[in-house]
Amino acid sequence: MSAAVHSRPRRRQDTGVTARPEHSKESPLAVHAMTVAYNKKPVLWDVDYDAPPKQLISIVGPNGAGKSTFIKACLGLVPSASGQVEFWGDVYKRSRHRIGYVPQRESVDWDFPVSALDVVCMGRYRKIGWCRPVTRKHKRAAMECLERVGMASLAKRQISQLSGGQQQRVFLARALAQESDLYFMDEPFAGVDAATERAIVDVLRELRASGKTVIVVHHDLQTVREYFDHVILLNMRVVASGDVATVFTEENLQRTYGGRLTLLSEASEAIAQAASGRR
Amino acid sequence: MPEFSAHLGALHPHRHASITDVTDELPTLTEILETLTFRAGFNTNMVILGTTLLGLAAGVVGVFALLRKRSLVADAISHATLPGICIAFLAAVVLGYEGRSILILLVGATLSGIVGVLCIHAIVRFTRLHEDAAIGIVLSVFFGAGVVLLTYIQKNASAGSAGLDQFIMGQAATMVSADAIVMASIAGVCMLLVVLLLKEFSLVCFNESFARATGWPVSLLDLIMMALVILVTVAGLQAVGLILVVAMLILPPVSARFWTDRLWLLVLLSGFIGASSGYLGSSVSALLPRKPAGAVIVLTAGVLFVISMLGAPARGVLATLVRRLILNMRIASEHLLEAAYEQQGRPIPVDQVRGLARLRAWPLWTLPLLKLTLNRKGYLASVTTEGWRLTPAGLERGAQVSRNHKLWEQYLVSYADIAPSHVDWSVDQVEHVLTPELVAELEHKLTMHGIEVGAS
């Protein structure tokens, strides 16, 4: 795995136009020159990224760095001002049946009249198709996904009566029910209990073992080395991306988090811990 | 036979000399039965049937307006219909058609309702204003424009303009069989679409971004939902009036929400509550002359809402209060039983009970209720000047509670990372949650710290 440290996109000497890199069909996600802006203010600037297949990838960066926006722009949920996104060398529209999504837990109103199982079934709606009811076959598949996150016993419970961690696991189960090859997860570890964190990590490893690629917005620098293979350090642009072992360094973190002292000390602590833990 | 004569009380003050001069006669039982069983004459039947079907359609569609948090958009739509009605009337008169043709007026109403929705979207999309402000703006400005046009028409146009203002307060009495048939088809369309698109609607309402990411055409589905809301709103103008029609879309689903946590049941119940409001409300207004049907229907829906809010077993206010009281009582009695266990069989002195009440900051009424609770469970033998004496069952429960609490505390200490999702202070025995091996381990740890655990 190459560890590319991007500063600026390479420019072609003769024309001065940014060269469009060759994206391989193997790469589950290839982002080229993506710029996203809300109300005149750019949130992401000239992002270039090639995701390696079959890896657990984390997106790390300070608050407001555009981590969630990156995922949403890839999925076409927010319009990008410029740039291209390709999945396995194809556009989103033709590949979205292979893409799963776990939105932020806070993005929905959990006082909604459905059970945990109903929510997981939503992951299969596309497979079921227009106007058809959810059949027993699909309910069984959804139930299996709930089992994988350790929530089978709470399948019938109304979703507002679940704890935050359990709700997060329901969202994860719904993504599993999509049976995708590439997963985007927006802060799945935010505010969950230890049992849920463990359950999510187990599922992530299972997914990698079965050849899936998972891209996770992550905020806990302490666990990056333990949970992930690959890391994107993001702060409006990609500061660095590559194997955790080579890219997740103090120098790169400093370039990502800048002068934010509290975060910086947390980061160096994380590195020190990871270094001593690696042995 | 009661004849329908709903009047616009506010706009046409009736001829009584004084408001105390009320001459309503209460209907007889036969009249009530006749009205409720559709034997009160053809006109009355059509009105009751039409409003019942309107209630059904509004109840079913209202569920999705509520879940999509767009209920108030319906209010803006209904107010936005007034300028459309007036413009349609003027246009029809200019073109030489019958200006009061209900069809022409409702087409005008629909078009200006749609313009109203588009204005809300435009305001939200292109400014920094939120939807609530946009709704307020559209609602008031459109309604204001409508009132200006209406006044102009009433001053200048021919006598044919009489009755245009019925759309403001509604006049169910003007419904004829054709209207009932229209209502029936609208209710049919609404129910058919909801049955077909239940899962698509629910997905968009619950999690729009996931729906979008998985490739559902969210805008199209939103459009269908909004079209249904506009359809029901316009259909309700004649009977309920544009000020009150939004109540038909909001009250039934929020009432039904108190009774159930399942979506399809919510849709059924909401349709049922809406239909009942239409049926009962128009029947009452048929039996009591000069009561405007629209307002009575909305009041009926309001009564059903209050009943649901207070009385519903799952989410109702009373049930919630009772559940909280029972929980508080159980916690209080566990604290008392634990204290009793520590007295080793002697009665607990009254002073100590009071001390416990002070320590736990129990409200005044806790102690009498606690006595009742313990008595009912057979834990309390007697309360004398000596103190509270427990039965053997009570003492045994006290021992159990004390043991449970110690074990849970040890479990929280030993397994702090996973414990919070497993600990359940309310179970009868720790063994119901944890494995026997784990309990043995915890007991061992407690004895190592010199804490007596007590028998299981």
- Average of per-residue pLDDT values in chain A: 87
- Looking at per-residue pLDDT, the higher value among A277 and B376 belongs to B376
B-contacting residues of A 251-270, CB under 8 Å? none
Query: Rounded CA gap, B6 and B290, in Å?
Result: 5
Task: Choose, out of A131, A170, A217, the residue to mutate when testing the contact with B (most B CBs < 10 Å).
Answer: A131
What confidence score (pLDDT) does residue B419 get?
66
**Whether B53 contacts B236, CB under 8 Å:** no
Q: Say what percent of chain B tops pLDDT 90.
A: 47
In B, minimum Cα distance to A110 occurs at: B206
The C-alpha of B128 sits at a distance from chain A's nearest C-alpha, in angstroms, of 10
In A, minimum Cα distance to B216 occurs at: A126
- Which of A118, A123, A131 is opposite residue B196, by nearest beta carbon? A131
Any CB–CB contact under 8 A between B261 and chain A?
yes
Range picked from A5-19, A63-77, B12-26 for highest mean pLDDT: A63-77
The per-residue b/e assignment along A233-257, b for 16 or more CB within 10 angstroms, e otherwise, is: bbbbbbbbbbbbeebbeeebbeebb
Question: Alpha carbon A119 to chain centroid distance?
Answer: 20
What confidence score (pLDDT) does residue B94 get?
86
Least confident of A177-181, B164-168, B190-194, B295-299: B164-168
**Whether B85 contacts B104, CB under 8 Å:** no
Model confidence at A24, pLDDT cuts 50, 70, 90, reads low
- Looking at per-residue pLDDT, the higher value among B233 and B410 belongs to B233
Query: Rounded CA gap, A253 and A275, in Å?
Result: 15
- Looking at per-residue pLDDT, the higher value among B109 and B29 belongs to B109
The yes-or-no verdict on residue A144 having pLDDT over 80 is yes
DSSP letter for A18, please. B
A-contacting residues of B 203-232, CB under 8 Å? 203, 205-207, 209-210, 212-216
**Whether A71 contacts A44, CB under 8 Å:** no
What confidence score (pLDDT) does residue A227 get?
95
Least confident of A58-67, B15-24, B29-38, B167-176: B15-24
Which chain A residues touch B262 with a CB distance below 8 Å? 113-115
DSSP letter for B262, please. -
The C-alpha of A193 sits at a distance from chain B's nearest C-alpha, in angstroms, of 7
Which chain B residues touch A134 with a CB distance below 8 Å? 199
DSSP letter for B342, please. H
**Whether A170 contacts A87, CB under 8 Å:** no
**Whether B401 contacts B337, CB under 8 Å:** yes
Query: Rounded CA gap, A19 and A33, in Å?
Result: 10
B-contacting residues of A 180-199, CB under 8 Å? 193-196, 198
- Which of A107, A134, A178 is opposite residue B209, by nearest beta carbon? A107
The C-alpha of A224 sits at a distance from chain B's nearest C-alpha, in angstroms, of 19
Please compute the mean of the pLDDT values over residues A38-54 and round it to a whole number: 89
Model confidence at B160, pLDDT cuts 50, 70, 90, reads low
Check CB contact under 8 Å for A122 and B207: yes
Model confidence at A267, pLDDT cuts 50, 70, 90, reads low
What confidence score (pLDDT) does residue A263 get?
54
Q: Count CB-CB contacts under 10 A for residue B188.
A: 13
Burial class (CB in 10 A: 0-12, 13-18, 19+), B93: middle
Q: Say what percent of chain B tops pLDDT 70.
A: 91
The C-alpha of A234 sits at a distance from chain B's nearest C-alpha, in angstroms, of 23
Spatial CA neighbour of B336 closest among B317, B355, B364, B312: B355
Any CB–CB contact under 8 A between A174 and chain B?
yes
- Which of B203, B206, B261 is opposite residue A158, by nearest beta carbon? B261
- Counted across chains A and B, CB pairs separated by less than 8 A come out at 84
- Which of A101, A130, A163 is opposite residue B421, by nearest beta carbon? A163
Position B257, amino acid: R
Burial class (CB in 10 A: 0-12, 13-18, 19+), B194: buried
Q: Which residues have CB under 8 Å from A54's CB, separation 6+?
A: A208, A211, A212, A213
Check CB contact under 8 Å for A72 and B209: yes
- Looking at per-residue pLDDT, the higher value among A10 and B269 belongs to B269
The C-alpha of B426 sits at a distance from chain A's nearest C-alpha, in angstroms, of 17
What confidence score (pLDDT) does residue A200 get?
95
Model confidence at B411, pLDDT cuts 50, 70, 90, reads confident
In A, minimum Cα distance to B204 occurs at: A122
What confidence score (pLDDT) does residue A274 get?
62
Residue that has been written with the tokens 């209010």 in this structure: B75
Residue that has been written with the tokens 């044919």 in this structure: B160
Please report how the helices B218-240 and B102-126 are oriented relative to each other, as an axis angle in degrees rounded to 10. 140
Model confidence at A74, pLDDT cuts 50, 70, 90, reads very high
Check CB contact under 8 Å for A113 and B262: yes
In A, minimum Cα distance to B258 occurs at: A113
Check CB contact under 8 Å for A113 and B261: yes
**What residue ranges do the domains of chain B occupy?**
29-312, 318-390, 395-448
| Model ipTM value | 0.88
**Whether A232 contacts A58, CB under 8 Å:** yes
Model confidence at A277, pLDDT cuts 50, 70, 90, reads low
- Looking at per-residue pLDDT, the higher value among B139 and A262 belongs to B139
List residues bridging with A99 in a β-sheet.
A182
Structural fold of domain A30-278: Rossmann fold (3.40.50)
Check CB contact under 8 Å for B207 and A158: no
The yes-or-no verdict on residue B171 having pLDDT over 90 is no
Check CB contact under 8 Å for B207 and A126: no
Q: Which residues have CB under 8 Å from B402's CB, separation 6+?
A: B338, B341, B342, B454
Any CB–CB contact under 8 A between B372 and chain A?
no
Which chain A residues touch B213 with a CB distance below 8 Å? 75-77, 96, 99, 101, 103
Which chain A residues touch B199 with a CB distance below 8 Å? 122, 125, 128, 133-134
Query: Rounded CA gap, B228 and B115, in Å?
Result: 15
Query: Rounded CA gap, B105 and B82, in Å?
Result: 10
Q: Which two tokens stand for residue B164?
A: 């245009």
Any CB–CB contact under 8 A between A17 and chain B?
no
The yes-or-no verdict on residue B9 having pLDDT over 60 is no
What confidence score (pLDDT) does residue B18 get?
55
Check CB contact under 8 Å for A193 and B420: yes
- Which of A114, A131, A163 is opposite residue B206, by nearest beta carbon? A114
- Which of B202, B206, B214 is opposite residue A96, by nearest beta carbon? B214
Least confident of A133-137, B126-130, B328-332, B416-420: B416-420
Check CB contact under 8 Å for A118 and B263: yes
Convert the pLDDT of each residue in B67-80 to its tens digit: 999 999 999 999 99
Any CB–CB contact under 8 A between B200 and chain A?
yes
What confidence score (pLDDT) does residue A14 get?
46
Which chain A residues touch B210 with a CB distance below 8 Å? 101, 103, 122, 174
The C-alpha of A12 sits at a distance from chain B's nearest C-alpha, in angstroms, of 35
Check CB contact under 8 Å for A122 and B210: yes
Check CB contact under 8 Å for B199 and A128: yes
Query: Rounded CA gap, A230 and A153, in Å?
Result: 34
Q: Where are the alpha helices (DSSP H) in chain A?
A: 67-74, 92-95, 116-122, 125-128, 136-148, 164-177, 194-209, 224-227, 244-247, 250-257, 261-278
Any CB–CB contact under 8 A between A111 and chain B?
no
Position B260, amino acid: T
Query: Rounded CA gap, B253 and B65, in Å?
Result: 9
Classified as helix, coil or strand, A74 is helix
What confidence score (pLDDT) does residue A262 get?
57
What confidence score (pLDDT) does residue A25 get?
75
Q: What's the longest Cα–Cα distance across chain A?
A: 64
Which chain A residues touch B203 with a CB distance below 8 Å? 122, 125
Any CB–CB contact under 8 A between B202 and chain A?
yes
- Average of per-residue pLDDT values in chain B: 87
Model confidence at B413, pLDDT cuts 50, 70, 90, reads confident
Burial class (CB in 10 A: 0-12, 13-18, 19+), B179: buried
Q: Which residues have CB under 8 Å from B407's CB, separation 6+?
A: B430, B434, B439, B442, B443, B446, B453
Check CB contact under 8 Å for B418 and A174: no
Query: Rounded CA gap, A56 and B157, in Å?
Result: 74
Please compute the mean of the pLDDT values over residues B328-334 and round it to a whole number: 89
What confidence score (pLDDT) does residue B352 get?
86
The yes-or-no verdict on residue A7 having pLDDT over 80 is no
Task: Choose, out of A122, A130, A187, the residue to mutate when testing the contact with B (most B CBs < 10 Å).
Answer: A122
Tell me which CATH homologous superfamily contains domain B29-312. Answer: ABC transporter involved in vitamin B12 uptake, BtuC (1.10.3470.10)
What confidence score (pLDDT) does residue A279 get?
42
Q: Which two tokens stand for residue B283?
A: 């029947």
In B, minimum Cα distance to A128 occurs at: B199
Model confidence at A26, pLDDT cuts 50, 70, 90, reads confident
Spatial CA neighbour of A36 closest among A27, A46, A44, A48: A44
What confidence score (pLDDT) does residue B12 get?
43
What confidence score (pLDDT) does residue B79 get?
96
